[in-house]
């Protein structure tokens, strides 16, 4: 039964054996239903597995509460002011850090990117500083700022700066020579050239950088709160864990995932809006 | 001459920065910022002793193990999920959600499930790093040129040969982009898992220095992490050039036209 279904879809036979495990688990969804339906089925299946694993006793419920319990805890959280305050603090650190990083990176990127001398001069330093993991700065942030939002900001800005900066450098380097020379011969000044030639060329790259930076910034904001203990969702998670409020902790983890999904969706939407004029469909992964 | 000039460009700014740093710390004794001399001295003292065996190497081993496992799981899982449309549709929302969870929050979760062990740290690294590789592989497999796919089908290329000669090469660039993200997340998670709960390892040592206000030692630890990051990025670029040589060549030809 399982196999006939698969074979009808003309599946390479060699992989069927490896598939069967996954197939059995997800039997409930079958036969070319619409995308959304399958996606929903996937989510429900996942929740069902999560519900069953602790109930059956594969993992102790003490350590992994069933899904219903965690979702209940999350729903309770939604009614609490403390939860929203923590979310607000995390989002504030995220937004401030992201904005600072974007502004810094854009300005520096345009200045350095438009001069080949500066590009060559800074290249080695940039290549050295960029791979330094931002979490290496955690001890420094603690020393300088203690458990305040500034320590979170420092990590967020450092991590997201590079994402945007590198993209802007690529973007500015990508300017079409013909377009640039045309602008020059029409007598456009330096400011107008940046506004009408360089900026539109670099904008798609900039937006890619911003989108990447947005998710990196969230990771670092939560990390800083978790490890340093600056106010926000991350600290709540650490507190819930050490306080033994296990389903509360899982609920907060779920909440961070939801925030992450929301940020991804919003960023994609902003990207589509700002680049609606851009004709080519860019491949956004190879950078 | 050209090489000399390149060297000049590469070294000029770092040298200038170090000189500024040296000059700025010359007169005063700022508690937070050590002079370059003190830092270099502490660096040698701190990291070239038994610490390299007791802290640095185990950390790197965990990082390496976690990242390699994540890459393998990601590619195999991605090939599997990417090859079937219904499976892709079924799993996509769940996978997107897992990717959106900031990986560091998995540290307390896994600590609870597995206790504070080396295994936990490796699993933390795997569970954070696997998503970019997995999702990029799925995307790469999905985006295979249909003409190539049909040709392979017509010639009766199936099974392992199809994966080796068609699927892996055409998803290669995407997979490597995922691997790049995976490496930097892995390094972050290695440090965090050790900062959060550990009694050994790089992250633990650095936090320990900070708590005991051993500032130059703490800085030297940050430098070690930086060096590891730089080394990983070099190794990655080197490997990527090797594996995707055909792809970079193709891009150059396309760009030249």
Most B CBs within 10 Å, among A6, A15, A29, A217, to test the B interface: A15
Segment 105-124 of chain A within 8 Å of chain B by CB: 120-124
Please report residues of A whose CB lies closer than 8 A to that of B210: 139-140, 142-143
Of residues A143, A223, A261, nearest to B96 (C-beta): A261
Please name which of A225, A217, A180 lies closest in space to residue A102, comparing C-alpha atoms: A217
Phi-psi category of residue A123: left, alpha or beta, with phi > 0 → left and psi -120 to 50 → alpha:
alpha
Distance between first and last Cα of chain B? 31
Please report residues of B whose CB lies closer than 8 A to that of A226: 104-105, 107-108, 192, 196
CB atoms within 10 A of CB A34: 9
Please report residues of B whose CB lies closer than 8 A to that of A143: 32, 210, 215, 218
- Calculate how close chain A gets to B242, using CA atoms only, in Å: 16
The domain ranges of chain B are 42-256
Q: What domains are there in chain A, each with its CATH number?
A: 2-63 (no CATH), 75-274 (1.10.3720.10)
**Crossing angle of the two packed helices A233-243 and A246-274, in degrees rounded to 10:** 160
Please report residues of A whose CB lies closer than 8 A to that of B102: 218-219, 222-223, 256, 260
Query: Rounded CA gap, B124 and B128, in Å?
Result: 6
pLDDT in tens, B177-194: 888 888 888 888 888 888
Please report residues of A whose CB lies closer than 8 A to that of B162: 12
Q: What torsion do the CA atoms of B111, B113, B118, B119 make, to the nearest 10 degrees?
A: -140
Contact A104, A157 (CB under 8 A): yes
Please name which of B199, B29, B3 lies closest in space to residue B118, comparing C-alpha atoms: B199
Residue A254 neighbours by CB under 8 Å, 6+ apart: A70, A71, A74
Contact B13, B21 (CB under 8 A): no
Chain B residue with CA closest to A39: the answer is B90
Query: Rounded CA gap, B84 and A9, in Å?
Result: 9
Chain B residue with CA closest to A18: the answer is B80
Query: Rounded CA gap, A1 and B119, in Å?
Result: 39
Contact B109, A251 (CB under 8 A): no
pLDDT in tens, A66-123: 888 888 888 888 888 888 888 888 999 899 999 999 999 999 988 888 887 888 888 8
**Per-residue pLDDT in tens (0 to 9) along chain A, 287 residues:** 333 333 333 334 344 444 444 544 454 444 455 777 888 888 888 888 888 888 887 777 777 888 888 888 888 888 888 888 888 889 998 999 999 999 999 999 888 888 878 888 888 788 778 878 888 888 888 888 877 888 888 889 998 998 899 888 888 888 888 888 888 899 888 888 888 888 888 888 888 888 888 988 998 898 888 888 888 888 888 888 888 788 888 888 889 989 999 998 898 888 888 877 765 444 444 43
Query: Rounded CA gap, B209 and B215, in Å?
Result: 7
User: For B42-256, which CATH class?
Assistant: mainly alpha
- Calculate how close chain B gets to A277, using CA atoms only, in Å: 23
Query: Rounded CA gap, B225 and B209, in Å?
Result: 14
Instruction: Note the ipTM here.
Output: 0.78
Q: Is there a contact between A133 and B225 if contact means CB atoms under 8 Å apart?
A: yes
Q: Is there a contact between B107 and A226 if contact means CB atoms under 8 Å apart?
A: yes
**Quick one: chain A helix, strand, coil %, rounded to 5?**
80, 0, 20
């Amino acid at each position: 039964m399982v196999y006939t279904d698969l074979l009808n879809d003309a599946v390479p036979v060699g992989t069927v054996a490896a598939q069967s495990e996954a197939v059995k688990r997800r039997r409930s969804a079958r036969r070319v239903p619409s995308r959304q339906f399958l996606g929903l089925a996937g989510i429900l299946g996942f929740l069902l597995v999560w519900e069953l694993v602790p109930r059956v006793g594969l993992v102790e419920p003490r350590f992994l509460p069933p899904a219903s319990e965690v979702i209940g805890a999350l729903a309770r959280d939604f009614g609490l002011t403390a939860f929203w305050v923590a979310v607000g603090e995390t989002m504030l650190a995220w937004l401030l850090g992201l904005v600072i990083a974007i502004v810094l990176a854009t300005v520096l990127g345009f200045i350095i990117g438009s001069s080949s001398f500066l590009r060559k001069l800074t290249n080695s330093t940039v290549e050295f500083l960029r791979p330094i993991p931002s979490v290496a700065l955690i001890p420094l942030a603690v020393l300088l700022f203690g458990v305040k939002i500034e320590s979170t900001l420092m990590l967020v800005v450092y991590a997201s700066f590079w994402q945007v900066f590198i993209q802007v450098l690529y973007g500015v380097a990508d300017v079409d020579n013909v377009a640039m020379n045309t602008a020059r011969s029409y007598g456009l000044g330096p400011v107008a050239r940046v506004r009408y030639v360089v900026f539109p060329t670099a904008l798609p790259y900039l937006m890619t950088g911003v989108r990447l930076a947005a998710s990196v910034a969230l990771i670092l904001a939560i990390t800083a709160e978790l490890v340093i203990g600056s106010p926000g969702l991350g600290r709540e998670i650490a507190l819930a864990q050490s306080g033994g409020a296990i389903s509360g902790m899982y609920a907060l983890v779920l909440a961070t995932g939801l925030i992450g999904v929301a940020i991804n969706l919003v960023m994609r939407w902003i990207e589509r809006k700002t680049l609606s004029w851009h004709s080519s469909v860019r491949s956004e992964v190879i950078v | 001459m050209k090489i000399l000039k390149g060297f000049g460009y590469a070294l000029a700014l770092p040298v200038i920065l170090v000189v500024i740093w040296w000059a700025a710390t010359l007169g005063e004794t700022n508690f937070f910022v050590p002079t370059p001399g003190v830092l270099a001295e502490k660096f040698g003292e701190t990291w070239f002793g038994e610490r390299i065996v007791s802290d640095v190497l185990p950390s790197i081993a965990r990082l390496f193990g976690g990242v390699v496992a994540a890459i393998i799981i990601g590619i195999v899982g991605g090939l599997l999920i990417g090859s079937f449309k219904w499976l892709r549709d079924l799993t996509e929302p769940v996978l997107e959600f897992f990717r959106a969870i900031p990986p560091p929050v998995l540290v307390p979760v896994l600590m609870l499930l597995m206790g504070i062990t080396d295994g936990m740290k490796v699993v933390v690294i795997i569970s954070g790093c696997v998503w970019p590789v997995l999702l990029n592989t799925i995307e790469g497999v999905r985006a295979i040129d249909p003409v190539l796919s049909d040709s392979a089908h017509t010639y009766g290329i199936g099974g392992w040969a199809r994966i080796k000669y068609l699927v892996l090469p055409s998803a290669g660039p995407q997979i490597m982009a995922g691997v790049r993200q995976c490496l930097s997340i892995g390094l972050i998670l290695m440090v965090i898992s050790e900062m959060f709960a550990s009694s050994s390892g790089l992250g633990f040592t650095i936090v320990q220095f900070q708590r005991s206000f051993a500032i130059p030692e703490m800085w030297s630890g940050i430098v070690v992490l930086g060096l590891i990051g730089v080394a990983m990025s070099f190794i990655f670029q080197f490997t990527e050039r090797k594996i995707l040589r055909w792809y970079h060549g193709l891009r150059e030809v396309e760009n030249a036209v």
